[in-house]
Amino acid sequence: MTEATTAEAAAPPAVRALKTPPSPRVPRLLQGLGFAVARRRMLDAFARRYGNVFALNLPVFGHVINVADPALAKQLFMANTTDVGNIRPSLERIFGPGSVFALDGDDHRRRRKILTPPFHGKSIKNYEQTFETETLREAADWSDDVPFETLEPMSRITLNVILRTVFGAEGEKLDELRRIIPPWVTLGSRLAMLPAPSRTYGRRTPWGRLNEYRRQYDGILDRLIAEVKADPDFERRDDVLALLLRSTYEDGSSMSSREIADEMLTLLAAGHETTASTLAWVFERVTRHPEVLAKLVAEAATDDSQYRQAVILETQRTRTVIDGTARHVYVPTFQLGDWVIPKGHQIRVDIAMMHRRAEEFPDPARFDPQRYIGERPPTFAFIPFGGGTRRCVGAAFANVEVDVVLRTVLRHFIIEPSTAPDEKVHSRGVAYTPKAGGRVVMRRRSTPLSAT
Ligand code: HEM
């Protein structure tokens, strides 16, 4: 080895001169308030003034570069995990240290190896029947011609689906989890945007209540894990809990009960409200587009799903449920297009803004599923599930669930088109939902549509 190359090998990583995007001259506290309570409005206003890339300065999250450019999103999502990683603070304070949301680098990679197989297409095929059964069970009580908010029943369907397919819960434990989880998730998603207080908190404070839910949940999970392990059919069970209990890391070790409890909670919180909100938006969108609804109905009487899939994609694009995702910069400087971002900054991909780019989606405000007939959406501009090594682990699961629930409703009910104005977008802490809950009027078909 020559002297020059030895010197090169020993040299610290190149530190480039910083070049950060423009930042609004709005005080940090005010930006923080806007981010927490009127995020879309604030970020859209900044984008009109500064374009696709600008810098925020927020309490809790610090300096955040907000990006709505597919080339930059690609660069971030594909970057080395030693250069950029999990956001700080991570969601560990909500889900615990055993959650994939708490892990970074190699620990994250090892966990994803265990977590990914239960969410592969083959595993999801086993769950399709549960998606349909839970939809029919919930729809049994729907009254003809009475308007109702779809978000509520959809939330019950997606919760039951997760409790059965992911937790493998039945009977008493299913009921206990069903009772504590909805208020807990609502509280947790509101607190997710706030820093956790460092001192001990009273039982009546929101953080104290969160702890109490957690205590109850841990008790139920311990009993559930013991029951699943003792099941004579343990080796053949296809719920995610059993799959996680059976799987091992590369070194042969397995996940501890605590890690499993944290991870199950993560899957539930990440998968329940997001999927229900997507479904509520689908109903809100199709009732306002009778021509789309008519095509969906015609297709529901067949085994095809191409148009339904296009409707789901267009709903996710135009009514994005999770509006952004971020990574933390670990290296001294991170080159992002022409920008040079310093260590400690976070880079946030603005998913909602990206989905409204006219460059990739001409006439972006138009709801037009036809965009995806015979054409796949552009990979790094259409990112409802994020991207790269941290891309949503439940993306395929959510897609099949939305597809089967929608197909089941279309086959069993006549959905009335609506001339009501579009529902406004409402933030529920983490997910964006239709403000009036995706109200619809339906009537049960005397004979369900059937593909055969
Ligand atoms: C339509 C429904 C859903 C939407 C819109 C959604 C969206 C997202 C987004 C945007 C991320 C962040 C990805 C990134 O940082 O690049 C994510 C992560 C995640 N999602 Fe989903 N998700 C949905 C359903 C689900 C379901 C059904 C599950 C599981 C049952 C799930 C489990 C997760 C997990 C565990 C992560 C963290 C992945 C990691 O950090 O490695 N999600 N999701």
Give per-residue pLDDT as tens, 325-377. 999 999 999 999 999 999 999 999 999 999 999 999 999 999 999 999 999 99
Q: What does the pLDDT average to over 272-297?
A: 97
| pLDDT for residue 8 is more than 70 | no
Proportion of the chain above pLDDT 90, given as a percent: 83
Distance of CA 340 to the CA centre of its chain: 29
The predicted structure's pLDDT at residue 298: 98
Q: 335 by DSSP, 3-state: which?
A: strand
* pLDDT confidence tier of residue 5, bands split at 50, 70 and 90: very low
* pLDDT confidence tier of residue 1, bands split at 50, 70 and 90: very low
From the CB of 112, is ligand 1 less than 6 Å away? yes
Q: What is the rounded CA–CA span in Å between residue 38 and residue 29?
A: 13
* pLDDT confidence tier of residue 128, bands split at 50, 70 and 90: very high
From the CB of 266, is ligand 1 less than 6 Å away? yes
Q: 49 by DSSP, 3-state: which?
A: helix
Which of 160, 385, 400, 404 maximizes ligand 1 atoms within 8 Å of its Cβ, making it the mutation to test the pocket? 385
What would the two tokens of residue 24 be? 């609004």
Q: What does the pLDDT average to over 379-405?
A: 98
From the CB of 347, is ligand 1 less than 6 Å away? no
* Ligand 1 atom index nearest CA of 402: 1
| pLDDT for residue 203 is more than 80 | no
CB 337: neighbour CB atoms within 10 A? 15
From the CB of 269, is ligand 1 less than 6 Å away? no
The predicted structure's pLDDT at residue 210: 86
The predicted structure's pLDDT at residue 310: 98
pLDDT tens across 142-161, in order? 999 999 999 999 999 999 99
From the CB of 325, is ligand 1 less than 6 Å away? yes
The answer to whether 435 and 424 are in contact (CB under 8 A) is: yes
From the CB of 165, is ligand 1 less than 6 Å away? no
The predicted structure's pLDDT at residue 260: 95
Choice among 38-42, 192-196, 253-257, 401-405 with the minimum mean pLDDT: 192-196
* pLDDT confidence tier of residue 181, bands split at 50, 70 and 90: confident
CA angle 344, 349, 274 (to 5 degrees): 115
Q: 341 by DSSP, 3-state: which?
A: strand
From the CB of 98, is ligand 1 less than 6 Å away? no
* Ligand 1 atom index nearest CA of 115: 35
Peptide bond into 434 cis (omega under 30): no
Query: How far apart are the CA of 391 and the centre of ligand 1, in A?
Result: 7
CB 98: neighbour CB atoms within 10 A? 22
pLDDT tens across 223-243, in order? 999 999 999 999 999 999 999
Give the closest residue (by CA) to ligand 1 atom 26: 271
The mean pLDDT of the chain is 93
From the CB of 315, is ligand 1 less than 6 Å away? no
From the CB of 278, is ligand 1 less than 6 Å away? yes
The predicted structure's pLDDT at residue 2: 36
| pLDDT for residue 211 is more than 90 | no
Q: How far is CA 145 from CA 82, 161, 277, 280, 409, in A?
A: 56, 27, 22, 18, 15
From the CB of 336, is ligand 1 less than 6 Å away? no
From the CB of 94, is ligand 1 less than 6 Å away? no
For strand 62-67 and strand 346-350, is the pairing parallel, antiparallel, or unpaired?
Answer: parallel
Proportion of the chain above pLDDT 70, given as a percent: 94
* Ligand 1 atom index nearest CA of 386: 16
Q: What does the pLDDT average to over 213-228?
A: 92
Question: Which amino acid is present at 300?
Answer: A
Give the closest residue (by CA) to ligand 1 atom 25: 271
Q: What does the pLDDT average to over 127-135?
A: 97
The predicted structure's pLDDT at residue 193: 65
By CB atoms closer than 10 A (0-12, 13-18, 19+), residue 306 is exposed
Query: How far apart are the CA of 14 and the centre of ligand 1, in A?
Result: 34
* Ligand 1 atom index nearest CA of 112: 41
From the CB of 397, is ligand 1 less than 6 Å away? yes
Q: What is the rounded CA–CA span in Å between residue 281 and residue 434?
A: 6
The predicted structure's pLDDT at residue 122: 85
φ, ψ of residue 391 in degrees (nearest 5)? -55, 150
Q: What is the rounded CA–CA span in Å between residue 452 and residue 216?
A: 47
* Ligand 1 atom index nearest CA of 77: 16
The predicted structure's pLDDT at residue 274: 96
| pLDDT for residue 446 is more than 90 | yes
From the CB of 399, is ligand 1 less than 6 Å away? no
* Ligand 1 atom index nearest CA of 166: 30
